[in-house]
Structure 1
Amino acid sequence: MVKKSKKSKSKRVPFRKKYKIIRKVKEHNKKKAKEAKKLGLNKKPKVEKDLGIPNDWPFKEQELKALEARRQRAIRELEEKNTERKDRVNLNFHPISTYLIVPNFLYY
């Protein structure tokens, strides 16, 4: 029966093994990327550009005003949501003084 060594096992890795592992990992990642590309998993959806309103549009001024009004309304709604969220947080917040325990000896 072979005696077990009391020394801890060395963590030394030969370069041949180290570089073989690196090569295998690189091949694996390359293969996964190739399969993902083939399936089209990494594609981003195309975003359509807003071309704006042409200059010869009959009601361009009205359309621009309506667009600006929609933007302002959206900004106002966002601000209202933020204030509501802050109010909810403030309602749920209890000051630390409500949790202070006063020792009995102060009442004597």
Structure 2
Amino acid sequence: MLGVGVLVRPLGGILLGRLADRRGRKPALVLAIALMTGGSVLVGVTPTYEQIGLAAPFVLLLARVAQGISSGVNGPPPAPTCWRWPPSTASACTAASSRSPPRAARSPRPCSAGC
């Protein structure tokens, strides 16, 4: 059940990425947040197997698909800004650190570009 969310991430990247290209990042982000919220709420309010029978796993599957699609397009929010307008001396480091975990991005050893 958990793996389904991971399998549909590329689909989310395609669908929501296309929406972001055509309508802008804001509608795509709003839809991604709505899908993640809806999927999470659905997981929380789904009745048990004893209460609704075989429909329970299918409802959970639908919730995980919604969560997977929404997480397929998400990256760190400042990443596009960092890639497009980096400081002139640190363009490579800025782009690399925007996709890194926070701890790796604050490495005590600076890279050669001076970031």
Q: Which has the higher contact order (CA 8 A, sep 6+)?
A: 2
TM-score (norm 1): 0.27
The two structures have a TM-score, normalised by structure 2, of: 0.26
Pick the structure with greater CA Rg: 1
